[in-house]
Amino acid sequence: MQETVISFKDFSFTYKAQQKPTIKHLDLSIYKGEKILIVGPSGSGKSTLGNCINALIPNAYPGKIEGTVTVASLDIATTDIYEINKKVGTVLQDTDSQFVGLSVAEDIAFSLENQCVSQEEMVPLVHQMAHVVGMDQFLGQSPQEISGGQKQRVSLAGVLVDDVDILLFDEPLANLDPATGKLAISLIDELHRTTGKTIIIIEHRLEDVLSCPVDRVILIEDGTLIADETPENLLRGSLLSENGIRDPLYLAAMRHSGCNLSLAKDIASIDSLDLAPFKEQILSWYHRQETPVKQKQGTELIRLEDVNFSYDGVLPVLQHISFSVDQGEMVSILGKNGAGKSTLAQILTGIHKNDSGHVFFEDRCIDSDSVTERSAFIGFVMQNPNHMISHSMIYDEVAFALRQKGYGEEEIKGRVMDVLTLCNLKQYHTWPISALSYGQRKRVTIASILVMNPKVLILDEPTSGQDYVRYTALMEFLCTLNRETGITILFITHDMHLALEYTSRSLVLCDGNLLCDKRVSEVFADRILLQKANLTVTSLYTLAQRCNIEDIPSFIDCFIRSEKDKRPEGKPIRKMRELPAPRVAHKKAKKSQKVIREPKSGKKFGFGLHYEPTDSWVHRLNGVTKLLFFIGWIILCLTTFDIRILIPSVAIAQICLASCKVPMKKFRPFILAMCYVILVNAFFIFLFSPGQGTIYLGTRTILLGSTGARYALTVETLFYLVVVCLKYFAIFPVALLFVTCTHPSHFSSSLNRIGVRYRTSYAVGLSMRYLPEVTSSYVHILHAQMARGVDVSKNVPLKKRIASVGKILAPLVLSSLDRIDVVTNAMVLRGFGKNRKRTWFLATPLRLIDFLVLIVFASWLTLSLYERFAKGVMFWYPW
């Protein structure tokens, strides 16, 4: 008899903020060693089911529980979440948010640290687990700098290190390109076969998961268990498609050809499926299809000529990109994660400027056009709607860009209501955006772009995170929009189904190079091309091959036409009313042709401050040493006004900064900002207290001005201002040094070692760790708003610029709060906070150099404090 490891008995759950239950009277048993797939449309309750298995419900998400759930014989309602997660390891959908370490090794070790495992035991365990998932060559790398598939492996190692019995994967394919997704499923399958662990996969990409065998498929809809069957039984019927789950492509093609799938054997995989009874029927269907009439080409709208781009001036991201897009086309831009797809979109919208080459729109070179200027004819919809939304109400969000352009409210109202009608959102125009689903928010972001009536719409991963029902609804809307208005649409995607069914042509990128520009059917029939681009051969290709069809592109075209004929015709779109010219001054129209600037070279530096790993002696100092030095240095600089101490201190600070081996250009923006702040501070000191130096030194020697003048500049005041500036010049370089040379984990462990609670220590280190990401998110959101026509340049009044920045900060705060929630859950699931103490994977002992630095600095600090307090010398004034 099989051993039950997870049991739901008449289980219902209602979230605290809701009135109706999300899970309703569920009875389900999962047995030891099974591999289970849980499917269902968005909002069906499948993620809630997963949160019950790992005990985030009711610990992180409180609510009303009815019935019982036991995991490894532990009741989730009464058992500590940490006890549950000794048995359950969770790999979250957003692997980036699950990472809490700056290196792969540190992240794998996180759970062991929380269990107070010693370094002697921890290090070999980390190396062993990295070897199991094939990441032992990447232990020193940042998790943010590895590929999507490698991130999945690191996340897996981080939970396997606990030797859990149950592995829960929450949408493991959500952010992966097709080939990487297939590798991830293979890795999970290999793990299941070699360890015998119970595997639970929550995913709506059915065909991708079924590329490896599963024991059962659990279908959830509206919180109710609809089916608990083998894949074979479910695939033969229509239950999956009736509940918003897409059929595998090969089965969809067989259904189009009229095959009776209830007779099919080994139907769960195209490789094992017995095609003999269906082959003639499939061939007959294929041969009945008419050859498509070649569509007439339209007017060229966009053209790129030999475009090159690099973020740092050294490593190329786009190389020699040349293509054109005609008016009214729907084109997919395909490629693996990191191929350069999103960068290409940012070049088109002007967020980044091409280093060389030309970008043309309607045969006019637009290289010098700003993002705001291009937003009038090129609209960009980002993948994450939360990065674009900056208002609480739907109407205000859609009207925002028009208000920025200076239109009157009456003109705005008509246009906004037109576009909301177009996007099927008119009935919600008074609603708060927080009340909308993810798919509806996506439509709001599209509406906020369409309101400006662009000629080109670029969508970055438009179907990411959406089930088949919502995916189809969005794509049908975009198809209708394209057909009725003639708008040109570019899809940046690695969703091969989207490209296959909704676009006529694909541009395929790989490592910044344009591999091909072909009909979609030709792309998907080219096995070598797909392999180069890290895409994967579809089951349609395999079906055609097994049916001995030579012209595979023609077979794929046949399938595309059948899918298109099956879809309902979209509702006609009412034409939106035209807008008059905005009531703000515009710059003169540019000349029709522009001379492109010369290619740029050399490294580009951004305004960002974070840990910079080098091999300098400062970096090698212990975290405790650097922390004590930094605290002591601030005390020294704040307590002394003695230039005999301050001048050498400034020299020491500059020497240390120069010796850290971080390029000084990295510090340049901060040093310039520091100088500006120091000069302003000195000016205001003189403005409000021009006699401050005389007060402290007791003499008054006029340098400039008359004896009775309030603002006569004296030698004493000038001396005092110099001393104050020296204090800042001594503190600021050491602050820069501390941030760039102190590993956040070393800093956290150091705080803990000097007596700060480890929860507080880790929170401080985590904030340092995520500082670069917050900066990156700000830039990302800024670009999104600029692509909507938001102008934060000197061309607009200061008041308007401040208001625009506020609209950029709003989504930054919201996305940061979401990120904090996910990170907190990830940390709790891996044992953070359970014990009163924890160990540190990267903690190091104090060495001789640490003691020498501390002794020398302590002597210098003692001398300063002795002069200041024992001898009473506040200012050393030699004149």
The three-state (H, E, C) secondary structure of 45-59, written as one string: CHHHHHHHHCCHHHH
Residue 362 domain-assigned (yes or no): no
Tokens matching residue 724 = 């104050």
The CA-CA-CA angle for residues 703, 704, 707, to 5°, reads: 90
Specify the 3-state DSSP secondary structure of 335.
coil
Asked whether 317 and 311 are in contact (CB, 8 A), the reply is yes
Strand partners, 519: 505
Number of CB atoms found within 10 A of residue 540's CB? 25
CA nearest neighbour of 143 among 176, 99, 92, 204: 99
Residue 403 domain-assigned (yes or no): no
Task: Assess whether the previous peptide bond of 58 is cis (omega < 30° from 0).
Answer: yes
- Mean pLDDT, rounded, for 155-173: 89
Return the pLDDT at 315: 84
Tens-digit pLDDT profile for residues 307-348: 999 987 778 899 999 999 999 999 999 988 778 888 999 899
In this structure, the answer to whether residues 629 and 567 fall within a common structural domain is no
Domain count, the chain: 3
Q: Is residue 30 scored above 90 in pLDDT? A: yes
Q: Is residue 296 scored above 60 in pLDDT? A: no
Specify the 3-state DSSP secondary structure of 365.
strand
Tokens matching residue 182 = 């297939």
Return the pLDDT at 442: 79
In this structure, the answer to whether residues 137 and 47 fall within a common structural domain is yes
Tokens matching residue 799 = 């008041």
Specify the 3-state DSSP secondary structure of 815.
helix
Distance CA 327, CA 640 (A): 70
In this structure, the answer to whether residues 85 and 18 fall within a common structural domain is yes
Tens-digit pLDDT profile for residues 684-696: 999 999 888 888 8
- Mean pLDDT, rounded, for 386-409: 83
Res. 825 pLDDT band, cuts 50 70 90: confident
In this structure, the answer to whether residues 554 and 630 fall within a common structural domain is no
Residue 834 CB partners (closer than 8 Å, separation 6+): 80, 82, 114
712 to 685, 700, 717, 723, 879: CA distances (angstroms): 14, 10, 10, 19, 19
Q: Is residue 790 scored above 80 in pLDDT? A: no
Residue type, 34: E
Q: Is residue 570 scored above 70 in pLDDT? A: no
Residue 393 domain-assigned (yes or no): no
Return the pLDDT at 290: 64
In this structure, the answer to whether residues 229 and 104 fall within a common structural domain is yes
Residue 299 domain-assigned (yes or no): no
Half-sphere exposure of 745 (CA within 13 A, CB side): 19
In the block, residue with structure tokens 């000195």: 682
Please indicate whether residue 177 or residue 199 has the higher confidence score (pLDDT).
Answer: 199
Return the pLDDT at 332: 94
Return the pLDDT at 589: 39
Q: Is residue 599 scored above 60 in pLDDT? A: no
- Mean pLDDT, rounded, for 549-576: 78
Asked whether 202 and 171 are in contact (CB, 8 A), the reply is yes
Least confident interval from 121-125, 392-396, 423-427? 423-427
Residue 40 domain-assigned (yes or no): yes
- Mean pLDDT, rounded, for 45-57: 92
In this structure, the answer to whether residues 231 and 252 fall within a common structural domain is no
Residue ending a domain, among 179, 212, 244, is: 244
For residue 88, give the DSSP letter.
E
In this structure, the answer to whether residues 618 and 718 fall within a common structural domain is yes
In this structure, the answer to whether residues 691 and 559 fall within a common structural domain is no
Q: At what angle do helices 715-741 and 664-688 cross, to 10 degrees?
A: 150
For residue 121, give the DSSP letter.
H
Strand partners, 704: 713
In this structure, the answer to whether residues 682 and 692 fall within a common structural domain is yes
- Mean pLDDT, rounded, for 585-597: 41
CA nearest neighbour of 344 among 294, 384, 380: 380
CA nearest neighbour of 213 among 192, 229, 198: 192
Q: Give first-to-last CA distance, the chain, whole Å.
A: 96
In this structure, the answer to whether residues 204 and 253 fall within a common structural domain is no
Asked whether 70 and 130 are in contact (CB, 8 A), the reply is no
Res. 730 pLDDT band, cuts 50 70 90: very high
What are the φ and ψ backbone dihedral angles of 13, each rounded to 5 degrees? -140, 130
Q: What rounded mean pLDDT belongs to the chain? A: 86
441 to 28, 262, 280, 432, 580: CA distances (angstroms): 34, 40, 46, 11, 28
Residue 481 CB partners (closer than 8 Å, separation 6+): 422, 450, 457, 487, 489, 573
Return the pLDDT at 534: 82
- Mean pLDDT, rounded, for 528-532: 89
Tens-digit pLDDT profile for residues 449-491: 888 888 999 998 887 766 777 778 778 888 888 888 889 999 9
Return the pLDDT at 696: 86
Q: Is residue 351 scored above 90 in pLDDT? A: no
Contacts 24+ apart (CB under 8 A), 760-767: 762/832, 766/100, 766/823
Q: Best-predicted range by mean pLDDT among 490-499, 569-578, 762-771?
A: 490-499
Residue 134 domain-assigned (yes or no): yes
Res. 75 pLDDT band, cuts 50 70 90: very high
Residue ending a domain, among 244, 274, 306, is: 244
Return the pLDDT at 603: 40
- Mean pLDDT, rounded, for 851-869: 94
Integer Rg of the chain from CA? 32
Contacts 24+ apart (CB under 8 A), 849-854: 849/617, 849/620, 849/621, 850/621, 850/622, 850/624, 850/625, 853/621, 853/625, 853/629, 854/625, 854/628, 854/629
In this structure, the answer to whether residues 148 and 234 fall within a common structural domain is yes
Please indicate whether residue 592 or residue 145 has the higher confidence score (pLDDT).
Answer: 145
Return the pLDDT at 601: 39
Residue type, 317: V
Return the pLDDT at 311: 83
- Mean pLDDT, rounded, for 559-584: 67
Return the pLDDT at 576: 61
Q: Is residue 535 scored above 60 in pLDDT? A: yes
- Mean pLDDT, rounded, for 231-255: 90
Asked whether 366 and 456 are in contact (CB, 8 A), the reply is no
Least confident interval from 550-554, 569-573, 698-702, 827-831? 569-573
Please indicate whether residue 612 or residue 785 has the higher confidence score (pLDDT).
Answer: 612
Please indicate whether residue 598 or residue 446 has the higher confidence score (pLDDT).
Answer: 446
Res. 292 pLDDT band, cuts 50 70 90: low
Residue 224 domain-assigned (yes or no): yes
Percent of the chain with pLDDT over 70: 91
Specify the 3-state DSSP secondary structure of 507.
strand
Return the pLDDT at 41: 83
Tens-digit pLDDT profile for residues 94-139: 677 678 888 899 999 999 999 999 999 999 999 999 998 888 888 9
Distance CA 322, CA 151 (A): 32
Residue ending a domain, among 573, 598, 621, is: 573
Contacts 24+ apart (CB under 8 A), 665-673: 665/603, 665/605, 666/605, 666/612, 666/740, 667/736, 668/605, 669/605, 669/607, 670/609, 670/732, 670/736, 671/732, 671/736
Which domain does 703 fall in, by range? 612-742+845-879
For residue 577, give the DSSP letter.
P
- Mean pLDDT, rounded, for 647-657: 94
In this structure, the answer to whether residues 80 and 174 fall within a common structural domain is yes
Percent of the chain with pLDDT over 90: 43
Q: Are strands 198-202 and 35-39 parallel, antiparallel or unpaired?
A: parallel
Distance CA 611, CA 769 (A): 8
Return the pLDDT at 168: 95
Residue 328 domain-assigned (yes or no): no
Return the pLDDT at 843: 87
Distance CA 385, CA 408 (A): 27
